[in-house]
Amino acid sequence: MHLPQINSVMISAYRSVMFYIGQRELEMQYKMNRVVAQCRQKCESMQEKFTEKLEQLHTAYQKIAKRCQMMEQEIHSLSKDKQELEEKFSEKSRSVNILFKAFIRFIRLCCESGSSNKHQ
């Protein structure tokens, strides 16, 4: 073989190897792109689920916060009612006590006037 023929065989072999390497790189790039697309799709799906759960949690939190606020208002209202009832009870107790003392005085007066009538 002559030197030019060896050179052309070597150039041809080199080009074949470079073409093969290029094809392998394209294949690897294609596989990587597929893996990246699958990962991206999975991440988007997980993000949608996470967002949905977060919205559900937020809605539940808002309901509980509203319920707590209503219960606080109810407790405040009940405390006011209790205080009013205690004041009314105290007032009624004073009235009953005054009436009871007046009744006792009346009974004593009746007893005293009855016993003074007997002595006359």
The closest of 49, 70, 72, 68 to 60, measured between CA atoms, is 68
Query: Can you tell me the mean pLDDT for 74-100?
Result: 95
Name the percent of the chain lying above pLDDT 90: 80
d(CA 15, CA 85): 103
What local confidence, expressed as pLDDT, does residue 2 receive?
A: 64
Task: Give every CB contact of residue 9 below 8 A, 6+ residues apart in sequence.
Answer: 1
pTM above 0.75, yes or no: no
- Give pLDDT tens digits for 10-46: 999 999 999 999 999 999 999 999 999 999 999 999 9
Structure tokens at 120: 């006359």
pLDDT band at 5 (very low <50, low <70, confident <90, very high): confident
Q: How far is CA 74 from CA 86, 88, 89, in A?
A: 18, 21, 22
d(CA 53, CA 60): 10
